[in-house]
Structures are given as C-alpha cells and as structure tokens.
C-alpha cells in the first residue's frame, strides 16, 4: 500500500506465455497488493503460467479484443477493492520498475491518471520504436494537445495508472472493444476534468511484444481524429455521444465480463 491505498496491477494478456514470468518477477510485490491477469482466449500457455506464478487470473470465453480485456481488468480490480490501478502489459514492452513512481503520484493525490511516456525521454527510436509509429504518435499527440488544450508528450502510451474515482466515473462500457479503447479513455479523462501526469518510460520493442499492424495503426489514427471531433462537439453542446454520457458512468461493475 501507499498512504493506505490498495495498489493493484492489471495485465491484459494475449499470447504472453514467453514474457509473462519476466514481467511478473519485476513487479515490486512489497508495494503492490494485488495482481490480476485477464487472458483474452490466448492460443498458448498464458493462463497456465499465470496460475503457476500465483496470479489471480480470469479468462475470456472467446477473443473479445484489447478494449474488452481492459474492461474486465478494471471491473475485477474495482470488485477486489483497488484504490489505484496500474495497467501493465505482460509482453515486457514497459518496465515494471516504474510502478512505484506511477502509483505514488496517483495514491498521493497529485494526479488522477499517470502515463508512462515513451516520448518524454529521448530513447523511443533507440529503444526500437518503428519510425512510422514514432512520427504518427508525435503528430496525433500534437493534434490532440491543440484540440483538447493539453500539453502531454504522449496520449498513446499503454502504461497507465488510474485512481478508483477515474474508473468509477468514466462510462467505459460505452467504449470500443478494440485498440481504440485506449484513446477513447484518454479523451474521456480530459472531458471529465481529471488531472493527468507523466513519467519518462524507457522504450523496449522486441519480437515477442504485442503490436498492431500498419493497417490497423492507420485505422487507429482515423479513430483518434473521429473521437477528438466528438469531444469538441460534446464540449460545445452540439452533440451527445455515448463515450461522454454522464448517465452511463456506473455501468462498469454491472457489465458482462464474458468469462
């Protein structure tokens, strides 16, 4: 715990058998109170390895998508009493060694959401980030900073910490079940007025990490533009959209986990 707050790490997993053990063994278990893995119908031994390690594990009955996996992660974390939830990919792209810093910033009340930014330092390209991903990340983040009036170095990190209040407030069940979930969640955090902090995160790209293809990256980029447009319309009072529906905030604990 940190200042009496229960710290939970959630890991949305898909075919993470070869990297899960290394990721888990670097989690600071003297600080983290609970570790939850949700398996999205992997074709390898991810679930078996998780159980060998003693991780609390849930498994989807079918492949439901990255966004749906996160919904189950956050639902289970809230159900088990988490005060701060940190999403850590089990493919070892992000180092677990940043958990104390991210958890401290959230638990200490400085920020409501904390991102591990690959761009804040200067090692993204040296760490193996493909050039097209780096450039698209920078361009999309610059566009979003301008439209959403923020000054983040990266909107698109998959390494994130949230307070319980964030997860209980956002209408997450209205978000996509696919990769677009991440950006929708960030846009919601801005829309609902939460404070966002960043820490510099080393970049590590390797053959065993999960990644979306170039075509899906292009699709993701267009979805970023679309959801930013929805944000602007909603803020101006010119449109109503489910992802910004204040009446849908309490649904996360009630939704179907599909497990």
Condensed to tens digits (0 to 9), the pLDDT of residues 86-111 reads 999 999 999 999 999 999 999 999 99
> Which domains are delineated in the chain?
7-246 (3.90.550.10)
pLDDT digits (tens, 9 = 90+) for 3-48: 899 999 999 999 999 999 999 999 999 999 999 999 999 999 999 9
DSSP 112-154: SEEEEESSSSS-TTTTT--HHHHHHHHHHHHHHHHHHT---S-
Q: Measured between alpha carbons, how far is 201 from 117 in angstroms, rounded to an integer? A: 5
**203-208 average pLDDT score:** 66
pLDDT at 210 over 70: no
pLDDT at 170 over 70: yes
Confidence of residue 239 (pLDDT cuts 50, 70, 90): very high
Q: Measured between alpha carbons, how far is 257 from 158 in angstroms, rounded to an integer? A: 21
- Average model confidence (pLDDT) across the chain: 92
pLDDT at 126 over 80: no
Residue 175 vs residues 38, 123, 181: alpha-carbon distances, Å: 18, 31, 6
List Cβ neighbours of 10 (8 Å cut-off, separation of 6 or more): 35, 36, 37, 38, 70, 73, 74, 76, 77, 85, 86, 87, 88
Confidence of residue 146 (pLDDT cuts 50, 70, 90): very high
């Amino acid at each position: 715990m940190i200042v009496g707050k229960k710290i939970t790490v959630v890991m949305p997993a898909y075919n993470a058998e070869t990297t899960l053990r290394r990721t888990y063994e670097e989690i600071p278990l003297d600080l983290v109170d609970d570790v939850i893995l949700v398996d999205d119908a992997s074709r390898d031994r991810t679930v078996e390895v998780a159980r060998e390690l003693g991780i609390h594990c849930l498994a989807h009955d079918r492949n439901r998508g990255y966004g749906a996996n996160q919904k189950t992660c956050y639902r289970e974390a809230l159900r088990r009493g988490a005060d701060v939830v940190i999403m850590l990919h089990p493919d070892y792209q992000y180092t677990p060694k940043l958990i104390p810093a991210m958890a401290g910033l959230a638990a200490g009340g400085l920020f409501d959401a904390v991102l591990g930014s690959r761009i804040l330092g200067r090692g993204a390209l040296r760490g193996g980030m493909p050039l097209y991903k780096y450039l698209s990340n920078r361009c999309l983040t610059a566009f979003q900073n301008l439209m959403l009036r923020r000054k983040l170095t990266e909107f698109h990190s998959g390494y994130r910490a949230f307070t319980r209040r964030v997860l209980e407030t956002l209408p997450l069940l209205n978000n996509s079940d696919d990769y677009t979930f991440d950006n929708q969640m960030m846009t919601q955090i801005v829309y609902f007025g939460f404070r966002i902090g960043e820490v510099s995160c080393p970049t590590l790209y390797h053959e065993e990490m999960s990644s979306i293809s170039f075509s899906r990256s292009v699709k993701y980029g267009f979805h970023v533009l679309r959801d930013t447009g929805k944000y602007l319309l909603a803020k101006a009072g010119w449109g109503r959209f489910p992802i910004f529906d204040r009446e849908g905030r309490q649904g996360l604990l009630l939704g179907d986990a599909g497990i």
